[in-house]
Amino acid sequence: MTTQKAKAQPKKTDMSGPILIRWRFYLIIFFVFCAFAALVGRIGYIQIIEPDNLIRQGDMRSVRAQTLHSARGIISDRNGEPLAVSVPVEAVWADPVAIYKAGGLVDIDRWYALADVLGIARESLVSKIEKNKSRRFIYLQRQVSPAMAKYIRELKLAGVGLKAESRRYYPAGEVSAHLIGVTGIDGHGLEGVERSYDKWLTGEAGKRIIRKDRYGRVVENISLEEREEGKPLELTIDQRLQAIAYRAIKQAVADFRATSGSAVLLDVKTGAVLAMVNAPSYNPNNRADLQSFKMRNRVITDAFEPGSTVKPFVVLAALEEGTADLDTVIDTGNGRMRTGGSWVRDTSKVGKADLTTILQKSSNIGVAKLALDMPLEALLGMYSSVGFGEMSGLNLVGETSGIFPNRRRWSKHEIATFSFGYGLTITPLQLAHAYATLGNFGEYQPIHIIDNNQQDLSRQVIGRDNAKSVLKMLETVTQPGGTATRAAVPGYRVAAKTGTSRKAVAGGYGDEYFAYTAGVAPASNPRVALVVVVNEPQGDNYYGGSVAGPVFSEIMKSALQILNVAPDENKTKSEEQN
């Protein structure tokens, strides 16, 4: 009975399971909803209200711009001979972050091999990488040769790469260095034609914008700006004449232990520059040789007092003004003339002399009297009309215009010395231009180094008959009895004038000299004008006729032969008049 009674009792309910507390559930749901709403709101803000920042951040990580460098234009001479060309080279760069991610400089022997091939001290290379651990790009070496680049690739150093670029090469080397100039490590011109026409030669670089993935693979080409190649430049220079002139000037500087020497050759008929050289020079292919005193183009940067080389223009001024004619005779006395409180002297007594003899014997007194007998404005006007005191227009860096006096009052002695080349300074190029104008029978032709099709800017500044008369007078200077006999060229009639002037120093004049010879040939119908300047020749032989004269003769002889100019020694007077 008891057992049956116990079985009949009902079972109790188990209340130990989880109990739902509604307010807690709703609170959690509320916070989840708020978080979701905040996330949706943030996404909406980023995607709709301010999407640019996210796009910018993504582009910073994936978009890359590649510069497409343009090839620099070739510079060539009038015959197409290359004077400056661009050759392919490579730059070596490093990513220090990538280097240390790959284990750093553990394999030190390979890094030492890299330093050795680049010509860098081993410790210097290691130190450079260690000091830039946080940077993503540094140059290790610029403009390495293809052979060096191949060796570096074979080293397979993590974080080291090669970048294509170009290097300027100058086939003419030191011969045309001052004129052509040189480019810097970034490929832009620093001196000479390379700098003056840098924009023309460089062209415009292009740009390619791409998108890369995390592994550096290109996944999208976004845009492409085509590059514009640099344009070629053809100069009026004849490299054959350039080489001959440089060799002669270099030898003269060595023979006379001179500080420097310069020569410039112009085409009389067109005003084209055929040669422009200086010594000492430098090798533009060797950057270790780039020293400022060697790189100066003295033909256009150095101004000097021209001395006796301006005397033909004093005679021209007198003929043009009418204060003298071909029959004029001037008494130079005993070789000394007092002007104001000073004296004018001749190196040798000339006595009574006509204009031809005054030029042939280079009489200071003769030209001084001519200058004093004419209005000063006539002499100043003659000097100015042939280009003294003016820029040449060649557009070369560093050119100077010299010093052209502009006084309100002139003493007689100042006018006298002004007539034989003291009191003004000109460049060798200006002097050559003046003689080219004389050789062109008084027609002023602007000089140039690049041919163009602009309008004719020539003008007649000297009477043709007077110019021809003075050219005949200058012929006697290179003949027996003249001061420039060593400037003569066998088979050709040469009209030239020598000069020797003391160098100006603080407070007066020093003991150093300029020696120069200027002239044109052939005298019957001049084709080329040449000026040779030797600065500070050493020893007792420092006169223009003996120092610069032989150099003038050597360069002029070769120039006339190369230009295929017929000898004029045996031409008749009737042929000359025609």
Q: Is 134 annotated as catalytic?
A: no
What gap in Å lies between CA 496 and CA 474, rounded to an integer?
6
d(CA 42, CA 39): 5
As a whole number of angstroms, the distance between CA 73 and CA 201 comes to 5
CA atoms within 13 A on the CB side of 117: 21
Candidates 166, 176, 308, 362; catalytic one: 308
> Which residue's entry shows tokens 């796009």?
55
Strand duo 233-234 + 75-76: pairing: parallel
Q: Which stretches does DSSP call E strand in 313-470?
A: 329-331, 336-339, 342-345, 352-354, 443-444, 459-460
DSSP H or E segment with residue 145: none
Q: Looking up tokens 């000073």, which residue turns up?
A: 342
CA distance 537 to 549: 13
Could you tell me if 431 and 421 are in contact, meaning their C-beta atoms sit under 8 angstroms apart?
Answer: no
- Closest of 371, 373, 372, 353 to residue 363, by C-alpha: 353
> Please, which residues bridge with residue 204 across strands?
228
Amino acid code (one letter) for 451: D
**Residue whose tokens read 């060797």:** 286
Question: Please, what is the Cα angle at 568 between 563 and 570, to 5 degrees?
Answer: 150
Distances from the Cα of 83 to the Cαs of 287, 291, 329, 447, 488, in angstroms? Answer: 17, 21, 52, 21, 32
Max Cα–Cα distance, the chain, nearest Å: 180
> 132 Cβ partners below 8 Å, 6+ apart?
96, 138
> What are the E-state strand segments in 298-394?
329-331, 336-339, 342-345, 352-354
> Which amino acid is it at 217?
R
Active site residue ranges: 308
